[in-house]
Amino acid sequence: MRKTILIYGASMAGLIGMMKYIEYRYLIRDFSIEFYVGVVAIFFTMIGIWAGFRLTRKKVVIVGAPFALDEDKLQQLGISRREYEVLELIAVGHSNQEIADKLFVSVNTVKTHLANLFLKLDVSRRTQAIQKAKSFRLIP
Amino acid sequence: MRKTILIYGASMAGLIGMMKYIEYRYLIRDFSIEFYVGVVAIFFTMIGIWAGFRLTRKKVVIVGAPFALDEDKLQQLGISRREYEVLELIAVGHSNQEIADKLFVSVNTVKTHLANLFLKLDVSRRTQAIQKAKSFRLIP
DNA sequence: GGCTAATTCATACTTTCGGGTGAAGATTTC
DNA sequence: GAAATCTTCACCCGAAAGTATGAATTAGCC
């Protein structure tokens, strides 16, 4: 951002300097105001467009690769830590038993977590839960 | 796009007209060239930025979407059409029964396809199959 | 025509999931 | 300290999913 401002300022100074230079160097004093306005308008419109690209480029990147957990959505749905852990594990394809082993709890516990999760996500199968969780950006 | 150009042209005309108006209306003829350049520069930079946003917005949408099926991988794994259809449907969270209804076959058939699919993908659960299929770029 | 692969289906059996209910301890919140 | 929430676990039952085996049909290929 600082770089952008610097380049912008330098361009502005450069343009004005250039015009002054032409004006005095060749003693051409009768550039019409419209000419100035035109040149400046076109030039700074281009700079503006370039700046616009600059400002939006970040958004483009975000959509592509990285994943940001939507914690608001988590709270909004009332999903607890433990439930979220289970969600992450079913998303990777683990069975209830495997999840129980990983979390050092019984299968029954995993089942309860899942049942609550299904309620909160409003689904009835783990595959649907994964699907929905992804659309909510709860998991990558 | 046409709308953008129209708005752009109208803005330009409006600005010049406004300046001329002020100039003649109040007989203020000594606006410095720097003043004009400044106003025009700022104004058109803003327009340019706005245009830049306009131009990039579409790209943002495009980046999110694309998915290219890796057909080579499909053949490499020896996955048939029907098996692939079933794969697509389990990925969306459908049950075997639902898939059977959608494809107008019996649940047993779906099970057979799935069993073969699991062999070819080297997994034992549908969630794992989805996971692996995504990593192979077989499904979005 | 014969071969192979794909698609279809069935039957039977095991395992996993999901739903429902209840309940106890821990932690947080008011 | 009482209420609410979270975490934990148990038991039961039925439905869904997965495994194994066998078999009929269709379609494509040489």
**Residue indicated by tokens 């300097």:** A17
> Strand, helix or coil at A94?
coil
Considering only residues 66-105 of chain B, list those whose CB is below 7 Å from strand C: 78, 80-83, 103, 105
Closest chain A residue to B126 measured between Cα atoms?
Answer: A93
Helix axes A81-91, A96-103, angle to 10 degrees: 130
Q: Give A115 CA → D17 C1' in Å.
A: 18
Backbone torsions φ then ψ of B105, nearest 5 degrees: -130, 180
pLDDT tens for residues B25-62? Answer: 555 555 555 665 566 666 666 766 666 555 655 444 45
**Cβ–Cβ < 8 Å for A38, B41:** no
A94 CB contact with strand D at below 7 Å:
no
Share of chain A above pLDDT 70, in %: 54
Q: Give me the mean pLDDT over the A69-78 stretch.
A: 86
What residues have CB less than 8 Å from A140, skipping those under 6 apart? Answer: A67, A134
pLDDT tens for residues B79-135? Answer: 999 999 999 999 999 999 999 999 999 999 999 999 999 999 999 999 999 999 999
Positions on chain D within 7 A of a protein C-beta: 5-11, 16-23
Q: Give me the mean pLDDT over the A92-109 stretch.
A: 95
B82 CB contact with strand D at below 7 Å:
no
Closest Cα partner for B45 from A45, A55, A3?
Answer: A45
Report d(CA B21, CA A45) in Å as an integer: 23
Question: Residue B127 and residue A126: Cβ atoms within 8 Å?
Answer: yes
Least confident of A66-70, A102-106, B47-51, B60-64: B60-64
Q: Give me the mean pLDDT over the A118-122 stretch.
A: 95
pLDDT at A88: 95
CB atoms within 10 A of CB A74: 20
What type of residue is B13? A
